Amino acid sequence: MRGDLHTLRKVCDYASVVMFAGEIAFIILILATLIFGGWSFADAGIRENFTKIVMCDDTDLALASRIVELTIIFAAMFVTVKVIHDIMVSIRSDNSPFMEAHADRFKIVSLTFLVVSVPLSILEYFTGGGPILAACVLLVCLLISVVMYCLTIIFRYGSMLQDESDHTL
């Protein structure tokens, strides 16, 4: 058992660095989307390039919808990467990966994707994705939410079993 926890800690040590880099990358993406998106309303040259990069029509509504959509997506991904980073940092220093705090963190991700599922699917529809792509976005967000909630339950149960085991000895 010691070898498995030791290996897990090593993996979490390296992966937490990658997750931290991911946090920084998503903050940069959020800021770039907001800055260049806002700038594209004032400068035709920026607008032409920005609409090509974000793949949307040149109308104000489509551009504004895509900016909001991308910001929501990047924010949800930031929350996900931040939570995973926090879990990995915690696993590096704790005796067990099964902790109530980890379950609470997975629940945050679950709720994040549940909350963003409807606005993202609506925005996808209005940015030219059509009803099929909008439905796919909704279903993917709901699927991620359900999987993360299942991990919440699994980690709560693992925490309870770990607690029972610790008290038995």
Tens-place pLDDT, residues 76-97: 999 999 999 999 999 888 877 8
Q: Where are the domains of the chain?
A: 2-168
State pTM to two decimals.
0.87
The full DSSP string for 30-94 is HHHHHHHHHHHTT-HHHHHHHHHHTT--SSHHHHHHHHHHHHHHHHHHHHHHHHHHHHHHHHHHS
166 pLDDT band (50/70/90 cuts)?
confident
Q: What is the pLDDT of residue 127?
A: 81
Mean pLDDT for the chain overall: 91
